[in-house]
Amino acid sequence: MNQPSANPLNDRIPSLIAHLIVCLQDFLSILEQESNMLKSGQPERITEILEQKQIHSDAISAATKTLQSTLSTENSSIEALLSKETNYPELNSQIESFITLSEKCQDLNLANGMTIKMLSTINQHALDIISGKPTSNVKLYGSSGTTENSNNPQNTLGKA
């Protein structure tokens, strides 16, 4: 593709964005594995991919810093490149792919984090009930079938 001479583009920028896209695709794959592990009922297996997730996260961070540095030396930004879509349609497409992948990764990482937090809360609550630890704002079903606040926070589950 011939670029107009009035808007020279650093040749590194498209390759840096392409590298970021590959990093994001790999990271998305790891996030999907994490999501599947959470859905499968085997969340303890998540620790197997935590190291991979951290390595890919670090790679994305390093590639992003390199891109930002390169754009800074060019006195440019992603937004500025997008606004020049008529001059760089292939780069515009690349940037759109990068943005879409970034959003997918962010959404899936957030969903996985919320799932992990919810499972942790459920597990902690179950452990507190089993161990007889005081709990607050617990509603129990009474003999009439209605819910009522627990009057005795030291109740334990079934004593013989």
Which pLDDT score, from 0 to 100, does residue 12 have?
83
Q: Provide the sign of the torsion angle of the four alpha carbons 130, 46, 101, 78, taken in this order.
A: positive
More confident site: 57 or 156 = 57
More confident site: 160 or 47 = 47
Which pLDDT score, from 0 to 100, does residue 133 have?
76
pLDDT, tens digit, for every residue of 45-91? 788 888 899 999 999 999 999 988 888 887 777 777 767 655 667 88
Which pLDDT score, from 0 to 100, does residue 125 have?
83
Which pLDDT score, from 0 to 100, does residue 21 have?
96
The encoded tokens of residue 48 equal 């197997």
What the chain holds in terms of domains, given with CATH numbers, is 12-149 (1.20.58.300)
Which pLDDT score, from 0 to 100, does residue 85 have?
52
The answer to whether residues 98 and 22 touch, using CB atoms and an 8 Å cutoff, is no
pLDDT, tens digit, for every residue of 88-138? 678 888 989 999 999 999 999 999 999 989 988 888 888 888 887 766 666
